[in-house]
Structure 1
């Protein structure tokens, strides 16, 4: 049976700041992120299975991505917890803002690595994460491919 790749796209709004960066992105700012998630697998051949013909139900994939990424990162501000931005983060949290503190510099490159790790843990054994594309502007994006990370 042929391997098939399927892709589902998601959107969310997230703010961040890049501590120590030498450009405008050192300031707190936000992006309308677009995340494309591509998985690979073999379509179900059991005619008695309600998911017959599917690699994975798009609804099941949506549930994973919403729970692991969209519902967490949407309308949040992300800071590296090991930077002086921690003071700003604490102030925002005291004012009931949604702040995420991460172990990494919150660039698109590092975020897509984090997202890949989260997604892979939730996929069924017969489905593999093939690639992710995290677009932060119309012209800028980071891509992660499983084949590059073997």
Structure 2
């Protein structure tokens, strides 16, 4: 089994509705996103997945979030834009684009600081 992993980052604001603390106020993070994809096979030249393809798909997805207020986006109207919900949303959206017969998104990690991160995956 091969794991292909990329890191990307973006900056955005959010506020947590119903949170009893400072995070209920509008504030921002420099998010670091790590996507890990698994493949059990290589192509004819020895590549499981071209990094360029994964980077392009993730960059397109993150462009919707970059320099925005996540709390105002459609993806986060029914749920708070927590790191947990952000990780799950990115996981599901990137899976729709990347999953194929041999490629599967394995996990998405969202870091909102150098010391705080959450990872989402599905069994």
Deviation at 1:124, TM superposition (A): 4.2
Deviation at 1:138, TM superposition (A): 1.2
Deviation at 1:144, TM superposition (A): 1.0
The list of structure 1 runs, each at least 4 consecutive aligned residues, that deviate by more than 3 angstroms after superposition, is none
Deviation at 1:44, TM superposition (A): 2.4
Structure 1: gaps (5+ residues): 47-51, 80-98
Deviation at 1:26, TM superposition (A): 0.4
How far apart, CA to CA, are the structure 2 residues paired with 1:114 and 1:132? 9
Is 2:74 the counterpart of 1:105? no
Aligned partner of 2:95 in structure 1 is 120
Deviation at 1:43, TM superposition (A): 4.3
Aligned partner of 1:60 in structure 2 is 53
TM-score, normalised to structure 1's length?
A: 0.76
Contact kept? 2:41, 2:48, Cα under 8 Å: yes
TM-score, normalised to structure 2's length?
A: 0.91
SS of the counterpart of 1:73?
Answer: coil
Aligned partner of 1:36 in structure 2 is 34
SS of the counterpart of 1:21?
Answer: coil
Is 2:63 the counterpart of 1:71? yes
By relative contact order (CA 8 Å, sep 6+), the higher-ranking structure is 2
Assess, with a 3 A threshold, how the Cα gap between structure 1 residues 119 and 45 changes in structure 2: closer, same or farther: closer
Structure 2: gaps (5+ residues): none
Question: What is the alpha-carbon root mean square deviation over aligned residues?
Answer: 1.2
Larger Rg belongs to: 1
